[in-house]
Amino acid sequence: MRTRLLAALCLLAPTAALAAKDPRCAGKPAARAARFSDTALKGASAAERYAAYVQACALDDVVALTKTLVRFKTVSSESPAAKNPEVAAMGRALEAWAKGHGFGFRTVGDNDVFELSWGEGEPLLGLVFHGDVVPAPAHEWKRAPFKPVVEKGRLYGRGVEDDKGPIASGLVALAMAKDLGLKPQGKVLIIIGNGEESDWSGMQKYADTQPKPTHVISVDSGYPVMAAQSGFVAWTLEAPVGTALATPKEGTVARAVDVSAGEFLTQVPGTATLKLAPVKGQTPEAVLAAVKAAIAQESPARKDLKAEAKREGSTVVLTAHGVAVHSSTADEGHNALWDLSAVAARLSLEDNGIAALLRVVAKRFDGDHHGDKLGLKYEDTLMGPLLVAPTVLRVKDGSVSLGVNMRRPQGKDAAAFNASLDAAAKRVGEDSGGQVKEGSGRYLGDPHVADTSGPLVKTLMDIYQRQRKAPDAVPGSIRGGTYARLFPRAVDFGPAFPNEPYTGHAPDESIALETLDLSTRMLAEAVHTLAIAPASEVKATP
């Protein structure tokens, strides 16, 4: 069957689903499914017919359902699931979709988790996603983030990759199997948590208290199979801003009165701004000239420097521009904070908390993705090096704070890593003459590693190697943290392909239609292999 299934999956070229529509896909689900029945496709197995049906007809359904889900502004960091009307509205839409396709639906907790189910008996397969999304500041986007649109072969909108496109792929894959009259050998669950981008407690409770499926696949990172995840670290540095000096030191040009960078902890800032006021004896014109000179002096050392200065009333605003990306892929973007701190370092600023924290960024973070300057650097063979990204800089209530997101691999236990952070905080304090200290709320998550020799990983790797014609592909590791870590033996499978940009937390988030198409087909094969016709070799070991 495996050979015939492979042939069915290769009936069309990878981009054929993006070309002219297959006439067999016209009409309602029952009518089009009949065109892939055992009568219509004589001699084809159920697996072959299912593969052909999904490959020919799934993409339009996936795009349409993704668009529906994206229109719900489910930003959990702005309003938690229990109080978010958009999450509630999305739940009602999913419930209506489930009933319309003959699936079960239930809400677990106070809109913490939406669960759709197919089949009877004990849970056999769980497909795990999250329905909440990160903020989408309008000023960073060229398109309306919650009005999805297809342009030049890509679907744009907040959540199309992280995680609403994958949700649609999973739902459509199950619906098409049901259309054909296929039945799982146990219960198949679509599990949608609504706090992945903010508060995991709801999904944690679900994972701790609900029956666990034999196999759990999270579709929230990348391919081929992501069997390990770095530990999530949140670290804060802060300093009192302090009051302005009545008599500034000789040579001082300006005082930093405000600073801002980043939107949330898990996104590398694409923009950073510093507001400066002239000290006694200086003018806004003199400050503006000094800032422009500092930019010019720094430019030769930074070919990608994009910064400008302008007057705003009696103050001068310095703005640096970078490339915003998910903090787990910080080395694929460009941190605007680095450039802001470098230009600021060339200015004669009054020594307050803002200036001190910017000096720390320049000395201990600028140009360093791996914590070497902080004395934190280490790496693991499977999971790679520690990743360090300063992401959120703000002034509030007389203090300036810097939020730092790290992704730590295995190789150091919690005690050893905490000791390293203590030492780093001490260095920062010494750098700033005691002005900058560690803030409260240190969080240290543990790395997660699944069993790469188990039947789930073997099955998914086989699917990926054949579909992508990549026989040498091996399981990998991600720096991000997904709900997979809450379930024993769970792994991530998609949606991002190797060497393709991941835009999940970036402005103008998008996903290629070809990626959605192939991801849906691979997920459908996983559903068939693991739940509809599970062979003895893929059943869970005792």
Comparing 133-147, 159-173, 495-509, the range with the smallest average pLDDT is 495-509
Per-residue pLDDT band for 20 (boundaries 50, 70, 90) equals low
Q: What is the pLDDT of residues 226-281, one digit of tens each?
A: 999 999 999 999 999 999 988 889 999 999 999 999 988 999 999 999 999 999 99
- What integer pLDDT is reported at residue 535 of this predicted model? 61
- What integer pLDDT is reported at residue 454 of this predicted model? 82
- The residue with greater pLDDT, 488 or 540, is 488
What is the distance between the alpha carbons of residues 171 and 97, in angstroms, rounded to a whole number? 9
Q: What is the pLDDT of residues 444-482, one digit of tens each?
A: 999 988 877 888 999 999 999 999 999 999 999 988 889
Phi and psi for 290 in degrees, rounded to 5? -65, -40
What residue has token string 């903090």? 327
The residue-averaged pLDDT of 6-28 equals: 60
499's torsion region: left (phi>0), alpha (psi -120 to 50) or beta?
Answer: left
Q: Can you give the pTM of this predicted structure?
A: 0.78
Q: Six-digit token pair at 478?
A: 């991600």
- What integer pLDDT is reported at residue 4 of this predicted model? 38
Are 232 and 407 within 8 A, CB to CB?
yes
Per-residue pLDDT band for 501 (boundaries 50, 70, 90) equals confident
Percentage of residues of the chain with pLDDT beyond 90: 88
Q: Six-digit token pair at 132?
A: 């909440």
pLDDT of 11 over the 60 cut: no
**What HEC string does 373-432 produce?**
CCCCCCEECCCEECEEEEEEEEEECCEEEEEEEEEECCCCCHHHHHHHHHHHHHHHHHHC
- What integer pLDDT is reported at residue 12 of this predicted model? 37
Mean pLDDT of the chain: 93
- What integer pLDDT is reported at residue 540 of this predicted model? 39
CA quadruple 219, 225, 230, 236: dihedral, nearest 10: -30
Per-residue pLDDT band for 2 (boundaries 50, 70, 90) equals very low
What is the distance between the alpha carbons of residues 280 and 246, in angstroms, rounded to a whole number? 8
Residue 534, preceding peptide bond in cis (omega within 30° of 0): no
- What integer pLDDT is reported at residue 541 of this predicted model? 34
Q: What is the pLDDT of residues 69-120, one digit of tens each?
A: 999 999 999 999 999 999 999 999 999 999 999 999 999 999 999 999 999 9
Q: What is the pLDDT of residues 361-404, one digit of tens each?
A: 999 999 999 999 999 999 998 899 999 999 999 999 999 999 99
Q: Six-digit token pair at 461?
A: 């790797």
What is the distance between the alpha carbons of residues 64 and 44, in angstroms, rounded to a whole number? 29
pLDDT of 18 over the 70 cut: no
**Domains located in the chain, CATH noted:** 23-230+448-532 (3.40.630.10), 231-444 (3.30.70.360)
Give, in order, the Cα–Cα distances in Å from 215 to each of 94, 186, 418, 503, 527.
Answer: 23, 11, 34, 28, 10
What residue has token string 């896909």? 25
Per-residue pLDDT band for 489 (boundaries 50, 70, 90) equals confident
- Dihedral of alpha carbons 77, 79, 82, 88, sign: negative
Residue 465: count other Cβ atoms within 10 Å of its Cβ: 15
